[in-house]
């Protein structure tokens, strides 16, 4: 049974049992504390935790997931992988253990011809939480599992919670016995290699508090609505049904592994034994197969390679796959060979990987090309480091290996391989220690910034009394009733002049920041008080929280208020938001449908728009985009909004934002019908002419495969153009040429300046060269090594010192000699030290001397044994620094 057939059969079974089939959510998690969707239940967390009211009582899905916590272990065993699919069925206060358990057994054991998976009942084992007598009784009495195949397990493995106060409950897991050739008898307790877990049923029935660890917490009561969250690992079931040894041999993964093996001229043996000579090649082939599939799926969901967040994970996956192929002996580009194979393996389950493959391939191939260039530059630096280490008769330091990794992106395993070929050892322990320090810093920084686990209990309580009704689509003023005032996150009875507060209204015309549109500002007034609204946020779906300051009077918590949005600011924001849609449509016209939105932000008078594109836009292209946008504005296209169900919107061709989680009903914004049709919850002008005008400010890269344009609209666009016109007029007056000849005159002036600077550089170098001849006589003997120490005064920078220092070293001949030249550049001291071969043979190293001198100057420096440079903060210390160099050579 193919993997996509397993998924189809799962959905068919549970829809027949009254479940709503929910499409897989994006791999980009909507939970701010998660980079990716890491489990099948993640999209349903708001329903399972009662933060939101579920639109259905029963649901089923096949959710695509990514886990990267143990990415370094992928391939070393067959149990680790990054991308996987979780089949789930969920109940939100509907059925509980009495149905969830029989459902699972029925689907697993029913014959394939009758719609099941056809697993032999006598090969299935069950575990239950050790205190869950109810689940054990259902398995034993209702389902008929022999009691000897039911095992009780403790909290560590069979109790679920979020790790925080809230819902929790026992689990029951189903295991498949692979047979005695895989391990010892005795069920999952005895051997989880022979008995592999395929299905986990979580029974959310308790409220817990005082959580100190996974196993230490207090059960404080039962949940009013008990939920079911179950998950079956699709890859594990595919492994069993397809009769293969592991997930890497299933139909969605094996084709890539085989293609990689063929490219490398290797044979895959499926070994997990590190002592097996084939193990290292098998590990690399598994890494390639896993990471290529994961990269394909991440890019299809809108992730692009970058140096942070999700983009960094994708970049790491692609680069690990490429470097694994390199270590297998393939140094040319491999993604054009491997990615289409993964596409063909996955398209049965996810047709988008085929329909969107042109974009996916363009992003992936560009990243591989960039990495191959990184390897080339890193190789050059490594070769230099190898020469230096050999000259010093040392191994490659951990710091050097870390610099190669951190600065050049050069993988440690390539460093180890290439250093080994050169006969050098590498301080791998030192490298790992530095990597650990870097991860610790990143972890602490991430923890300090993370807000995903903020206490939302007070907002959940407010939401339980009803959602905030947004009236701002049709009105900018209206009455509302205060439902709560919060100060520092705590509900208070009133607020007085000067208090900074948050509050919730039963209905509001204020737009809460969402969809890239900035929040409204304005005033709240009433009997004896004036409150200025500074920001509006939506911490949980359905609740608008206004952040404000009391300007006058006292505001009671039960007040009836008059809410008034700043009209001018709202209109300017609507101009920008509609302008964003126009820019998107213009990009589609000029560049094509691949230029899809990757993010946006718009506020009064300003917009920025990120889109998928692999190269910079020419000035002509930017002008064309700007012209198309302004023609649309001039044509006064009608802007209309319609609320419809998601399927209808998709069939209409409405553009959705990658990674966005849409509900059953969506709002479609159209500009002149099909000219622009997008899903959007923001506010807009009624017709495009109300935007006035749009002026592009510039275009830039925001990560591999992504570009950004920025623009002003309305009066801000006019002011920008007026300022540029005034600047042109001023320059024309200054240079005394008409504006149409301004570019020519400026170009000629710049060329003259460059020629003058070049002549000055020539004269300065001639002066320095003349100085060099006169300085040779100032060299002193320091126990067998000549030392020439010179203060050059004002210099343009380190390049001046380098030219002078190397010239002096050459003029001093082959006798052991050291040159130390220093000077002041922009008020800061710089120093360069150069040694010849004779000095180095005498044990004098430029790097050590420059560190000493730079320390005297109040700074630091470093370099190679032959040439090194540094700097500091104290110009007056230059004579002392030069004296310290002479003394160090003399006293060596």
Binding-site residues for Zn(2+) sit at: 577, 581, 680, 684
Q: Which of 226, 229, 24, 197 is CA-nearest to residue 127? A: 197
d(CA 50, CA 760): 74
CA distances from 319 to 307, 315, 381 (A): 12, 6, 19
Token pair belonging to 813:
């001949």
CB 531 within 8 A of CB 550: yes
Residues 6+ apart with CB under 8 A from 298: 27, 66, 310, 313, 314, 317
- Which DSSP helix (H) or strand (E) runs through 230? strand 218-233
CB 632 within 8 A of CB 586: yes
Token pair belonging to 164:
């925080």
CB 687 within 8 A of CB 638: yes
- Which DSSP helix (H) or strand (E) runs through 618? none
- Which DSSP helix (H) or strand (E) runs through 792? strand 785-794
d(CA 572, CA 603): 7
Token pair belonging to 697:
């400010």
**Taking CA 484 as the corner, what is the angle to CA 482 and CA 490, rounded to the nearest 5 degrees?**
155
Residue bearing tokens 């002479």: 886
- Burial zone of 767 (CB within 10 Å; 0-12 exposed, 13-18 middle, 19+ buried): exposed
Instruction: Determine the distance from the C-alpha atom of residue 843 to the mean position of all C-alpha atoms in its chain, rounded to a whole number.
Output: 48
- Which DSSP helix (H) or strand (E) runs through 101? helix 97-109
d(CA 408, CA 406): 6
Residues forming the annotated binding site?
A: 577, 581, 680, 684
Residue 426 gets which letter from DSSP? B
| Three-state secondary structure of 158-212 | HEEECCCCEEEEEEEEEEEECCHHHCCCCCCCCCCCCEEEEEEEEEEEEEEECCC
Instruction: Determine the distance from the C-alpha atom of residue 323 to the mean position of all C-alpha atoms in its chain, rounded to a whole number.
Output: 21
d(CA 649, CA 655): 9
Token pair belonging to 890:
């003399």
Q: Which of 16, 34, 162 is CA-nearest to residue 89? A: 16
- Which DSSP helix (H) or strand (E) runs through 150? strand 150-153
Nearest-10 Cα torsion for 241, 245, 249, 251: 0
- Which DSSP helix (H) or strand (E) runs through 845? none
CB 349 within 8 A of CB 61: no
Decide the pairing of beta strands 469-470 and 507-508: parallel
The helix-helix angle for 398-408 and 428-449 (nearest 10°) equals 50
Residues 6+ apart with CB under 8 A from 204: 48, 160, 167, 168, 169, 223, 226, 227, 228, 229
**Which residue intervals of 694-740 are DSSP H helices?**
714-735
d(CA 829, CA 825): 6
d(CA 96, CA 206): 13
Q: What are phi and psi of 862, to 5 degrees?
A: 175, 180
d(CA 673, CA 177): 59
- Taking residue 587's Cβ as centre, other Cβ atoms within 10 Å add up to 26
Residue bearing tokens 């290797």: 266
């Amino acid at each position: 049974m193919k993997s996509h057939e397993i998924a189809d059969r799962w959905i068919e079974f549970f829809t027949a049992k009254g479940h709503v089939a929910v499409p897989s959510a994006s791999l980009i998690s909507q939970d701010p504390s998660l980079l990716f969707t890491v489990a099948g239940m993640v999209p349903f967390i708001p329903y399972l935790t009662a933060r939101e009211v579920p639109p259905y009582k029963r649901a089923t899905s096949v959710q695509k997931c990514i886990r990267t916590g143990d990415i370094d272990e992928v391939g070393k065993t067959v149990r680790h992988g990054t991308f996987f699919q979780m089949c789930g069925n969920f109940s939100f206060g509907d059925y509980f253990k009495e149905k969830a358990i029989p459902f699972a057994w029925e689907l697993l054991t029913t014959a394939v011809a009758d719609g099941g998976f056809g697993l032999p009942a006598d090969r299935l084992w069950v575990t239950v939480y050790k205190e869950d007598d109810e689940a054990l009784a259902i398995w034993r009495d209702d389902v008929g599992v022999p009691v000897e195949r039911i095992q009780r397990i403790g909290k560590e493995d069979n109790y679920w919670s979020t790790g925080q106060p809230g819902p929790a409950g026992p689990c029951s897991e189903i295991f498949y016995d692979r047979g005695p050739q895989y391990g010892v008898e005795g069920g999952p307790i005895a051997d989880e290699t022979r008995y592999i877990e395929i299905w986990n049923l979580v029974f959310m029935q308790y409220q817990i508090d005082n959580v100190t660890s996974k196993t230490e917490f207090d059960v404080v009561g039962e949940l009013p609505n008990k939920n079911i969250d179950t998950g079956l690992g699709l890859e594990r079931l595919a492994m069993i049904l397809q009769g293969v040894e592991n997930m890497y041999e299933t139909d969605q993964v094996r084709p890539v592994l085989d293609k990689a093996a063929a490219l490398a001229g290797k044979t895959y043996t499926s070994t997990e034994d590190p002592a097996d000579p084939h193990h290292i090649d098998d590990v690399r082939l598994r890494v390639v197969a896993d990471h290529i599939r994961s990269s394909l799926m991440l890019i299809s969901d809108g992730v692009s390679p970058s140096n942070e967040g999700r983009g960094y994970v994708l970049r790491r996956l692609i680069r690990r796959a490429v470097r694994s192929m390199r270590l297998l002996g393939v140094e040319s580009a491999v993604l054009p060979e491997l990615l289409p194979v993964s596409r063909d393996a996955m398209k049965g389950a996810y047709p988008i990987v085929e329909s969107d493959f042109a974009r996916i391939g363009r992003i992936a191939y560009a990243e591989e090309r960039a990495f191959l260039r990184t390897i080339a530059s890193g190789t050059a630096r490594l070769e230099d480091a190898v020469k230096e280490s050999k000259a010093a008769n040392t191994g490659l330091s951990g710091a050097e290996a870390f610099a190669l990794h951190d600065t050049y992106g050069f993988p440690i395993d390539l460093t180890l391989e290439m250093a080994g070929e050169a006969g050098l050892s590498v301080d791998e322990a030192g490298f790992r220690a530095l990597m650990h320090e870097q991860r610790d810093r990143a972890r602490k920084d991430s923890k300090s910034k993370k807000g995903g686990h903020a206490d939302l209990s007070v907002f959940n309580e407010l939401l339980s009394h009803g959602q905030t009704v947004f009236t701002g689509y049709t009105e900018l003023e209206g009455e509302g009733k205060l439902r709560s005032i919060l100060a520092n996150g705590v509900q208070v009875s009133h607020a007085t002049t000067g208090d900074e507060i948050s509050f919730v209204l039963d209905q509001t015309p204020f737009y809460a920041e969402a969809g890239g549109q900035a929040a409204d500002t304005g005033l709240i007034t009433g009997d004896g008080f004036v409150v200025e609204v500074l920001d509006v946020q939506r911490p949980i779906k359905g609740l608008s929280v206004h952040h404000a300051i009391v300007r006058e009077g006292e505001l009671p918590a039960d007040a009836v208020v008059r809410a008034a949005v700043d009209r001018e600011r709202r209109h300017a924001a609507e101009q920008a938001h509609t302008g964003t849609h126009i820019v998107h449509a213009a990009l589609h016209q000029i560049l094509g449908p691949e230029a899809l939105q990757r993010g946006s932000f718009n506020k009064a008078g300003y917009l920025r728009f990120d889109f998928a594109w692999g190269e910079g836009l020419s000035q002509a292209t930017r002008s064309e985009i700007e012209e198309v946008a302004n023609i649309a504005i001039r044509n006064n296209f009608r802007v209309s909004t319609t609320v419809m169900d998601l399927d209808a919107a998709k069939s209409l061709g409405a553009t959705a934002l990658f990674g966005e989680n849409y509900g059953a009903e969506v709002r479609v914004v159209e500009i002149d019908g099909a000219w622009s049709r997008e899903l959007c919850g923001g506010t807009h002008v009624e017709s495009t002419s109300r935007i006035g005008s749009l002026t592009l400010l510039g275009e830039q890269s925001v990560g591999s495969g992504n570009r950004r344009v920025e623009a002003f609209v309305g009066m801000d666009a006019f002011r920008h153009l007026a300022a540029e016109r005034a600047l042109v007029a001023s320059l024309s007056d200054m240079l005394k040429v008409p504006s149409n000849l301004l570019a020519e005159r400026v170009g000629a002036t710049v060329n003259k300046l460059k020629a003058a600077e070049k002549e000055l550089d020539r004269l300065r170098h001639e002066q320095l060269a003349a100085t060099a001849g006169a300085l040779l006589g100032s060299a002193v003997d320091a126990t067998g090594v000549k030392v020439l120490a010179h203060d050059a005064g004002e210099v343009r920078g380190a390049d001046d010192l380098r030219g002078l220092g190397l010239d002096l070293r050459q003029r001093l001949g082959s006798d052991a000699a050291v040159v130390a030249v220093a000077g002041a550049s922009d008020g800061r001291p710089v120093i360069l030290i150069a040694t010849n071969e004779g000095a180095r043979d005498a044990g004098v190293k430029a790097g050590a001397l420059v560190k000493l001198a730079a320390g005297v100057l109040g700074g630091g420096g470093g370099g190679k044994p032959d040439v090194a440079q540094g700097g500091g903060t104290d110009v007056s210390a230059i004579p002392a620094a030069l004296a310290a160099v002479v003394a160090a050579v003399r006293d060596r």
